[in-house]
Amino acid sequence: MMACALILQGYLGVSDSDAVELSVADLRWQMVLGRVGETVPAYSQGALFAFRDRLIAHDMDRRLLERTAAIARATKGFDGKKLPKTLRIAIDSSPLNGAGRVEDTINLIGHAARKVVTCVAQLLDWEVDRVCRQAGIPLLLEKSVKRALDRDWSDPQEKAEAVDVLARQVLSLERWIEEKLPAEVGQPPLDRLLGVLHQIMEQDLDPDPGGKGFRIVDGVAPDRRISVEDGEMRHGRKSKSKRIDGYKRHVATDLDSQAILACAVTPANRPEHEALPELKDDLDEQGIRFAEAHFDRGYMASPTVVEIQAQGAEILCKPWNTGHGNLFTKEDFDLDLRSMTITCPAGQMAPIRFGQTVKLDPDTCAACRLRGACTKARKGNGRSVSIAHDERLQKKLREAAKTKSGRQRFCERVPVEHRLAHIGQRQGNDARYAGIRKNVYDLRRTAAIQNLETAQRKAS
């Protein structure tokens, strides 16, 4: 009954409290839950919250998706008890904005410090203002740290001074806590909040080389935390012009039945191919194998692609662009993967290795009559050609891309894009929860609802 309630909640996009009220106020909910005529709620808000946590802990949201995928596939005309296990599967991703607030360095440090102060105040049964004064961090007495700092933020010198003042007050707070609450420093919840504060300070601040305190680091930390409330969301890009502050959601779709078979969520700064092993593991759990694997190019770097191909699947993906401006492309070279050599249009030959860049002899290139059409390398350098780690497959895909039938096969992955569009329309582009695991649950629930709608549409 409560599993049905969670599906209804996802279908209508309502809160936990509304889901409790609707279980007694809406006859349609009562019908689905098997409680027609009841005058008290079917469950409490706390019970629904606890059930969802247990569902996630036991990975039953994956089972929910599997069951609805089987229903959707059965409506395609297959025998429900003998569904095919070798499928044409396409995988793609779309952005999902995180639920946490994204902040700049000063606000991020101030937010983390404020949560520490609030926790300390509760442990000591003090007012927050008293903690701020005694701990030496009066900046937190104002609602806004930037307002308390009161600087001209367009002036680099004043901004640097503000960063140093904030950093020194945070260090004062940490020293005071170690003296006042030594037994609580390593215990939850204070240890977790201090850990967040330390993480933000270390990733965003450096000691000033001039010995004048602290400054904001040059560049961006590789795995920079961008939110206090959600520690797993990250800055990332879907394209050069579109930034994501949160996550990427991934779905694997059966192209014939259009059922969504598996889902995954990754931080936005991680490449798409890191989701592929998780998706394949979910498919393996269902006993499903790839007959054809239709990928976006971002997934091709995964070693799992080689594994899927070794199991007999056909890999279909648009090949990487080999264009070199108006110069000769890789396709103008004779690439012999048996002898592992490459020969340029002028006849120069060189050995190659997968995953490495071959550099042709600079002296030969300098004297070559075709140099102007081949390379713009500086004097003393010859033409270089990158050899992909999966060059055999890329060469096959490039050959397919030259034919009409091959290009049409690449377009067969369109249904997965439609599934993602439906997911985005129902789930929205903003995460409902903080953290990867709960957002995986929400994505699986949304995909399960989509599968039920697909089954209904195909059955009618």
Q: What is the DSSP string of 316-375?
A: E-PPPP--BTBS--GGGSEEETTTTEEE-TTS-EEE--TTSEEE--HHHHHT-TTHHHH-
Q: Which domain holds residue 41?
A: 2-58
Last residue of a domain, one of 191, 216, 241: 216
At 78, is the pLDDT very low, low, confident or very high (cuts 50, 70, 90)? Answer: low
* Per-residue pLDDT, 459: 82
Query: Are residue 311 and residue 237 in the same domain, yes or no?
Result: yes
Q: Kindly tell me if the per-residue pLDDT of 440 is higher than 90.
A: yes
- Tell me if 378 is assigned to some domain: no
Query: Are residue 315 and residue 431 in the same domain, yes or no?
Result: yes
* Per-residue pLDDT, 113: 98
Query: Are residue 435 and residue 313 in the same domain, yes or no?
Result: yes
- Our measurement of the distance from residue 412's CA atom to the centroid of its chain's CA atoms, rounded to an integer in Å, reads 25
- Tell me if 78 is assigned to some domain: no
Q: What is the DSSP string of 39-84?
A: -S-SS-HHHHHHHHHHHHHTTHHHHHHHHHHHHHHHTTT--TTS--
- Tell me if 367 is assigned to some domain: no
Query: Are residue 167 and residue 302 in the same domain, yes or no?
Result: no
- Tell me if 382 is assigned to some domain: no
- Tell me if 379 is assigned to some domain: no
Q: Mean pLDDT over residues 294-305, rounded? A: 95
* Per-residue pLDDT, 26: 95
Q: What is the DSSP letter of 36?
A: T
Q: Kindly tell me if the per-residue pLDDT of 77 is higher than 60.
A: no
Query: Are residue 33 and residue 132 in the same domain, yes or no?
Result: no
CB distance 262 to 90 below 8 Å: no
- Tell me if 140 is assigned to some domain: yes
- Tell me if 223 is assigned to some domain: no
Q: What is the DSSP letter of 217?
A: P
Query: Are residue 203 and residue 137 in the same domain, yes or no?
Result: yes
Query: Are residue 260 and residue 292 in the same domain, yes or no?
Result: yes
Query: Are residue 154 and residue 180 in the same domain, yes or no?
Result: yes
Express each pLDDT in 362-416 by its tens digit.
999 999 999 999 999 998 999 999 999 999 999 999 999 999 999 999 999 999 9
Express each pLDDT in 144-194 by its tens digit.
999 999 999 999 999 999 999 999 999 999 999 999 999 999 999 999 999
* Per-residue pLDDT, 225: 97
Query: Are residue 314 and residue 423 in the same domain, yes or no?
Result: yes
At 81, is the pLDDT very low, low, confident or very high (cuts 50, 70, 90)? Answer: low
- Tell me if 68 is assigned to some domain: no
Query: Are residue 140 and residue 195 in the same domain, yes or no?
Result: yes
Express each pLDDT in 218-254 by its tens digit.
888 889 999 999 999 999 987 777 899 999 999 999 9
> Residue type at 226?
I
What SS3 state is found at 269? coil
Last residue of a domain, one of 155, 187, 216: 216
Last residue of a domain, one of 169, 192, 216: 216
Query: In the chain, how many domains are there?
Result: 3
Express each pLDDT in 39-75 by its tens digit.
999 999 999 999 999 999 999 999 999 999 999 998 8
Query: Are residue 145 and residue 184 in the same domain, yes or no?
Result: yes
Task: Give the predicted TM-score (pTM) of the model.
Answer: 0.92
Q: What is the DSSP letter of 8?
A: H
Query: Are residue 92 and residue 114 in the same domain, yes or no?
Result: no
Percent of the chain residues past pLDDT 70, beyond the cut: 98
Q: What CATH number is associated with residue 415?
A: 3.30.420.10
Mean pLDDT of the chain: 94
